[in-house]
Amino acid sequence: MACRTSQARQRNLPPTLLTFLRAAFGIFTIYQNMMYSKVVKTDLESLVLGVLGSGPMHGYGIVRQIKGESELLKVGESQLYPVLRRLEERGWIAGSWEIQDGRPARKVYTLTEEGTRALAKRRKEFDAYSRHLRGLFGLPEAP
C-alpha cells in the first residue's frame, strides 16, 4: 500500500481522495475475499432481500443471482444458509418446501411484508450511501 500511496502523492492527489481510495480498496478486498465479518453479514442480508424482492427463489438461485455474470461478489451456500435462517427468524422471509418430480424437494424463499419494509429501508440507506460516494468521486448523480 505504501507504494501506491507514494505514487498517488506524486500525482498530487488530495489527501481526502487518498483516504477514500484506501477505504474503497479495503471494501473491495473484503468483498473479493468474502471475509465473513459483521459488515459482510449485513451486506449479505441486504443482497438476499434485494434478490427476493424480484420474486421467490431457492438458495442456489439466490447465490447465482448475487454472483451475477462477473462473479465479482463471491458468496457460497455455506455463507448463505445462516443468513436465510436469521432472516426467517426475524420474519422478513418465509420458506416453503417445493416438491420436484424425480429430484429432491427444495426450499423456496419469499419476502414477507416485514421483509419488504426492511428492503425499502435498506434501499434508501444504500441510495444515500451511493450518492455520497458518487459525490466524493466527482461523478454525476445517477438517474
Name the architecture of domain 37-137.
Orthogonal Bundle (1.10)
Rounded alpha-carbon distances, angstroms, from residue 103 to 58, 96, 98: 14, 16, 10
Residue-wise pLDDT tens for the chain (143 aa)?
455 555 544 455 555 655 665 666 555 555 445 443 334 666 889 999 999 999 999 999 999 888 886 667 778 778 899 999 999 999 999 999 999 899 999 999 999 999 999 999 999 988 888 888 888 888 887 76
Put simply, whether the predicted model's pTM sits higher than 0.85 gets the answer: no
Which of helix, strand or coil describes residue 103? strand
pLDDT of residue 90: 97
Cα angle, residue 73 at apex, residues 48 and 132 outer, rounded to 5°: 80
Order of all β-strands in the sheet with 93-100: 57-58, 103-111, 93-100
